[in-house]
A and B are shown apart, each in its own frame.
Chain A
Amino acid sequence: MTKILVLDPDSCTSCRLCELACSQRNFGVFRPSLSHIRVAINAEDAFYFPMVCIQCDDAPCIEECPTEALVRDPDTNAVVVVEENCTECGLCESACPYGAIRVFDGRAHKCDLCGGDPECVRFCAAGALRYESGESWPREQRQAYAEQLRNLAEEVKA
């Protein structure tokens, strides 16, 4: 059975160690602005929310990519970027409903679950990020997550 990255926003404390760990692991620099995982923080409302690719089963980024630069890793079930196929077209970025892919420095960037050992999870002491057995996010959970993101977007706008 594969594992999935479980997000538990209620346990998040807004420390952003996940962003630091992710950027260091993937880019060799402590630079939250590059991190695949981002904690949305609305301090006023004590609202903290980790946002990262949830590796959808029917991933729109894979469907939209015209050059097969996004493929499923059979071992981890993560959607990964094939760098040499990527043309920076940005279709994946607009297709992702969760804002979990960004295109910069000549290619798409997204969470690949660190090949099955997510660094963010190792640094999350609060238990807001966990890597646990499971097939993939069930539909209801994905819908709930999308709903929370939508609420967040509205709050930020307001």
Chain B
Amino acid sequence: MENPPYLRLVNEIAVQFTHRPFEESAEVVAAHVRKFWDPRMRGQLMAHAVAGGEGLHPIAVRAAELLQQQTVR
């Protein structure tokens, strides 16, 4: 089955920041998703991460955790 769009999109964001420290990258990705993504897509991403995060880039997994914790504005 083809990956859902949000998974492809968040992974594309995550790979842009692999040159930066892991936690900093995750914060940047989470802030971007928080600022620009549709709420339902954010919800799908967080639900996917909670369900195991299969197929998510590690930075995206951590970004989803930060979003879940609502530590990103």
Partners in one complex: no
A residues whose Cβ falls under 8 Å from a Cβ of B: none
B residues whose Cβ falls under 8 Å from a Cβ of A: none
